[in-house]
Chain A
Amino acid sequence: MSKQRQSRFAIISIALTLGAFTLFVFATFVDPLSAYSTELMVAGLALLIASWGIYFFGGRRAQKPEESTENVITVIGCGGCDFREERAFTLGDYIFKELGQCKKCPGNSYIRAIYAVPLKK
């Protein structure tokens, strides 16, 4: 269950509680409605129970695998020149792993850095 859906449930729950509170106020303080105060009280209680039900049971999170939140970059450099290349991390990469001859010069290229860039906060 997404966080947006959870917060939607919370808003519905608060709205129902406010509705129940309004009915209680009407039933108690508005004279023309005094004849219906019992019905209003029962309706208010029903709203309150619905609100609690949504608050307690609606907010349960379903457990599902998390999506990846980072982009891992492998930076390739060369000991003999200023060659620099960035690519996505692949299994087996590690910092200072030698990768053979450089694309630009006869020097040896190697993995200069690996780092993560968060995709979302």
Chain B
Amino acid sequence: MPSIVVNIIWMVAFFAIIILFNQRMQIWSYQRNVEKATARLQFLADKSREDALNSIKQFAQENVDIRSQVTGFLDFFLIEPVDRDPFGVLGRLEHILDNRRDRFKAFVSQIAPKAGKTDAANTEDILEAAMALNLIFKVVRHYLLLGKKTKSLMIFVQLDMQLPMIMKMAEAYFSAQKTFSAGKPIGDGLGALVASKLMLGQPKKQIAEEVVYAELDLSNRKVVVLKAEGPGGVVGKPGEAVKQLVENLGGKVARIFMIDAAAKLEGEKTGEVVEGIGAAIGDPGPEKFKIEDVATKYKIPVDAIICKMDLEEALTTIRKEVVEASDVIVERIKKAILERTKEGDVVIVAGIGNTIGVGQ
């Protein structure tokens, strides 16, 4: 008899716990996942800041404390222009992006005066990666604390569902920082690598900011190849460069070829080369707009050749498959120029991407 009573008490207690504390138990479970991820993000953010400091120290002046300056700069922010009145928004965005780049350059030259052009550009990339990790950590921590404060299951559920993508992005930035510190070429530099292969041995001239170009003859076609000026980690202003080249040529350009790295879908192979049309450039807008605008003005067809890779592969040391794909793209461009243009035509080939570790 007593055992039946105990069993009844046990069953009642069990169901009472399940019914009354069901949501609380779910919150504990989701909160635990988010706390683990936040701890990992904090580790990545702290480690990336220390790594950035160690990289910068070798170019800093002795007896100057750069820690507080770098730590403060990691919270540097950019306010995007108002787009409720979209007229001229890209011009305003470009102005703000220019200001941001100028502030970055000024800060790097202030804390790392001994850095040369290449090292200064790489230091900017190192800081960018540390800033990205710092921001990701702070946003996730914000929602964790907000969820704890409000005891909201929905906040934890939404955060937990997005964690796999957030963690993948954070790990990619963390790995990228190591690559930037060593000055190794990255997957995103595929466009720059292809352009370098095409312009190898030709004299280079400067056009637009941090962009160089070279002219070569290919089966009686004049091919103008441009890329960001390496081997420092810069992307330059390829849109401005294309615009200036087209305007300098009076719009007499038969075709524009753009080469860039592109995000692959799950299931697609890294290094897969795909062709299409349109401005293949992943900038916030101004550079892409300039290319589309000048191509539309002079009715110039824009061909895009992209190489597939995921975010981590784009931000970390270039993979063998991508290097092999660059040779495939070089041949495809040569073939496409012969097939789609005639003798005497002028063609622009724009290699887009961060040119870290890629000279010319």
Contact = CB atoms under 8 A, between A and B. Distances in A.
A95 B357 contact: yes
A20 to B, nearest CB: 12
B177 to A, nearest CB: 12
B305 interface: no
Interface in B300-339: 316-320, 322-323
A27 interface: yes
Interface in A61-87: 61, 63, 65, 70, 72-73, 79
Interface string B21-51: 0000000100010001001100100010000
Contacts of A3: none
B61 interface: no
Interface stretch (B181-189, B205-213, B234-242, B252-260): B181-189
Interface residues of B, number: 33
Interface in B61-113: none
Contacts of A95: 185, 193, 196, 231, 357-359
B274 interface: no
A72 B184 contact: yes
B173 to A, nearest CB: 13
A38 B317 contact: no
A7 interface: no
B6 interface: yes
Contact of A97 (B231, B318, B320, B322): B231
Contacts of A38: 2-3, 6
Contacts of B182: 89, 91
Contact of A37 (B7, B36, B184, B200): B7
A60 B200 CA distance: 52
A114 interface: yes
A29 to B, nearest CB: 10
The bracket for how many chain A residues form the interface is 20 to 34
A79 B357 CA distance: 20
A63 B43 CA distance: 7
A46 interface: no
Given A56-B32, A94-B185, A95-B358, A41 B39 contact: no
Nearest to A114: B185
Contact of B200 (A27, A56, A96): A96
Interface centre among A34, A65, A116 (most CB of B within 10 A): A116
Contacts of A91: 182-183
A35 to B, nearest CB: 7
B3 A116 contact: no
B360 interface: yes
Contacts of A118: 319
Contact of A94 (B28, B43, B320, B358): B358
A94 to B, nearest CB: 4
Contacts, number: 82
Interface centre among B39, B184, B357 (most CB of A within 10 A): B184
Judged by DSSP, the binding face of A is mixed
A112 to B, nearest CB: 9
A113 interface: yes
Contacts of B32: 56
Contacts of A73: 320
A72 B317 contact: yes
B40 A114 contact: no
Contacts of B360: 96
B298 interface: no
A61 B32 CA distance: 12
Nearest to B199: A96
A116 B36 contact: no
Given A89-B184, A96-B359, A97-B231, A114 B318 contact: yes
B10 interface: yes
B6 A94 contact: no
A28 interface: yes
A115 B358 contact: no
Contact of B319 (A56, A94, A97, A116): A116
Interface string A89-121: 101111111000000000000000111111000
B87 to A, nearest CB: 43
B351 interface: no
9 contacts: A27-B7, A41-B10, A93-B183, A94-B357, A95-B359, A96-B196, A114-B317, A114-B318, A118-B319
Interface of A: 27-28, 34-35, 37-38, 41, 56, 59-61, 63, 65, 70, 72-73, 79, 89, 91-97, 113-118
